[in-house]
Amino acid sequence: MPERVLEVKNLSKTFTVDGTKIEAVKNISFSLDKGEILGIAGESGSGKSTLSRLCMRLIRPDSGEIFIEGEMFEKSSEKRLRPKIQMVFQNPADSFNPSYSVGSGLKEAARSLGVEKAAAQQRIAELLKTAGLPQSVLSRRPKELSGGQLQRLAIVRALLCSPRVLIADEAVSSLDVSVSANIINLLSDLRDELGIAVLFISHDLDVIAHISDRIAVMYKGEIIETGPPEKILVSPEKEYTKRLCGARL
């Protein structure tokens, strides 16, 4: 039986902008099993990034519940459960302090996540190897590295505390095609090697279909259709999904 690592129940969030209420996420429910990659697809403004930040508790939901390995992720459990769910953001250049070396940034991240110094050094070395990066990158500053290298390092940082869930929010959209393919392959390899579950968020349906076991399509804050990539791409049920698939051609 699959091991469920993330479960979202009836999650909703409304923002007020200039006096107007905007329902960014409406009553969303889904689950994610160990080693599974779930792709969240949708156009800009569909609520994908808000959903990712709600799952991370970077913003608080108006209603609904989030469970990590069966335990509710809420204020009282946030500090303890935070290491179990980590995130990789869209722009890798914004993920590191430009004033410090990459190595210093990774060590500080490990410290803040409660990873002991000796264990952190070993973990960083192991993850750099897995990510295909030389140890020499640790002494360099972010501006001396490429976008692809920085995004690999962002993934390394997210994995320092051995999370059960990794959220990749538009993690390849700012990279060129070849570098994007390398990052996607890395995430797939990490799933196979570590058994980590991935919530992969993107506006690019082709990219999502390539990496995901299941795809959930978001439209105006709701998940309107879920299924395996072959079903979503070949025989979508909803009109919006059909238009989204048609835009690929």
**DSSP string for 180-237:** HHHHHHHHHHHHHHH--EEEEEES-HHHHHHH-SEEEEEETTEEEEEE-HHHHHHS--
Give the SS3 label for residue 100.
coil
The Cα 92–Cα 70 span in angstroms is: 31
> Is the model more confident about 9 or about 185?
9
CB burial class (10 A; 0-12, 13-18, 19+) of residue 70? Answer: exposed
pLDDT value at 248 more than 70: no
Instruction: Please state the rounded mean pLDDT for residues 61-74.
Output: 96
Q: Report the first-to-last Cα separation within the chain, whole angstroms.
A: 38
pLDDT value at 247 more than 70: no
Q: For the domain bounded by 4-246, which CATH number is listed?
A: 3.40.50.300
Q: Please give the pLDDT value at position 172.
A: 80
pLDDT value at 249 more than 70: no
pLDDT tens digit sequence for 78-112? 989 999 999 998 887 777 888 889 999 999 888 88
How much is the pTM?
0.91
Q: Please give the pLDDT value at position 95.
A: 78
Task: Tell me the sheet residues that pair with 39.
Answer: 200, 215
Instruction: Please state the rounded mean pLDDT for residues 45-74.
Output: 95
